[in-house]
Amino acid sequence: MAVGFKTAVSSVALSLAALGSAQAEVLDLSSLMGGANVFSFGNFSAPSADVEGSIVAAGNVTLSSYTVNLKNKDAYGHYALVAGGNLTYKGGDILNGDTYVGGKSSISNATTATPVQGGKSPVNFAKAEAKLKQASRQLDKLDNTGSAVEKWGGVYITGSNQAVEVFDISSSALNNSTYFNLSGISKSATLIVNVSGSSALFQGGYQAFDGYNVLFNFADATSLSINTGANVSVLAPKASVSGGQGVINGNVVVNSWASQVQINASNYFRATNVKGYTSAVPEPETYAMLLVGLGLIGFTARRKKATAAAQ
């Protein structure tokens, strides 16, 4: 094989390897959400309460007596609220950032920090949704570093004193328990809790998670209820949240939201290295283009070889 061909093949192979390991092991949930406090793939509605950071929703946004972005944590550069559909807003304030509405706006007894913008959306909703769903699936496949056992009305979690801990919990255990007990957990560790099952409930006391970098990942849940306060982030890309009460202090990703649960912005999930997680998988067409390039290199080499043999 000619040196030039070997070099070209090596270059393509290295490119493929580099793409497969791009940003390997870095879990940056906030970046995947564009910096939003809450990201909904569908509609977002609430009869009261507030989101301290920014709201991004691909569907309609319907709010009343509501405050958005008090903590000035914009999404996608400078947006306090992004609605892919219509915005209906009755009473409240959108603060410290721009408002984008893809459809129609109906605003009464409410203020926005800047005039409502239209036109081209600042968010590629389909792409963002695909990446967040992919992240949830990948996290769900991670190997456990410890155990989580339901007993005595609670969930007892035992770690292995690592910087990043991964645990599996069934939704039934989550639904039936009213407290958590943690042991073997290093100070300020990242805790990824993968919850299995189609319907899940936050209830009881979550104080055990205070001071840790915590993400509850619901890869399969289509329904999620919240009836407590918790300093955790929530990744539930298939789940609809409705009713309930309480406070989630962290990033929130859902399929749809119709709840008065407050969402706070002082406890975003911190980007961290997670063994076995790959944050950026190239688009299929990128792989295809590289493989086509490799095929062309092979075709050129065979043609040169045939030409040389005929001379």
**Is the four-CA dihedral 61, 48, 241, 253 of positive or negative sign?**
positive
Return the ∠ at Cα 113 (arms to 112 and 118), rounded to 5°. 65
Q: Which residues contact 172 (CB under 8 A, 6 or more apart)?
A: 150, 197
**Stretches in the chain below the pLDDT threshold 70:** 1-24, 279-311
How many CA atoms within 13 Å lie on the side-chain side of 267?
Answer: 22
Residue 105 pairs with which residues in a beta bridge?
Answer: 87
Distance CA 79, CA 181 (A): 39
Query: Which pLDDT score, from 0 to 100, does residue 227 have?
Result: 97
Of 39, 79, 54, 19, nearest to 239 (Cα)? Answer: 39
Residue 234 pairs with which residues in a beta bridge?
Answer: 216, 252
Distance CA 16, CA 97 (A): 40
Query: Which pLDDT score, from 0 to 100, does residue 278 have?
Result: 87
Model pTM score: 0.85
Spans of all domains in the chain: 3-22+282-310, 25-276
Return the ∠ at Cα 159 (arms to 267 and 138), rounded to 5°. 65
Cβ atoms of residues 256 and 44 within 8 Å:
yes
pLDDT digits (tens, 9 = 90+) for 163-197: 999 999 999 999 999 999 999 999 999 999 999 99
Distance CA 125, CA 169 (A): 30
Q: In what order do the strands lie in the sheet with 180-183?
A: 147-151, 154-158, 180-183
Distance CA 87, CA 196 (A): 34
Of 188, 132, 189, 180, nearest to 156 (Cα)? Answer: 180
What number of other Cβ atoms are within 10 A of residue 209's Cβ?
A: 20
Residue 43 class from Cβ within 10 Å (0-12 exposed, 13-18 middle, 19+ buried)? buried
Query: Which pLDDT score, from 0 to 100, does residue 177 have?
Result: 94
Distance CA 121, CA 58 (A): 10
208 secondary structure, DSSP code: G
To the nearest 5 percent, what fractions of the chain are helix, strand and coil?
A: 25, 40, 35
147-151/154-158 β-pairing:
antiparallel
Segment holding 100, helix H or strand E: strand 98-101
Cβ atoms of residues 56 and 36 within 8 Å:
yes
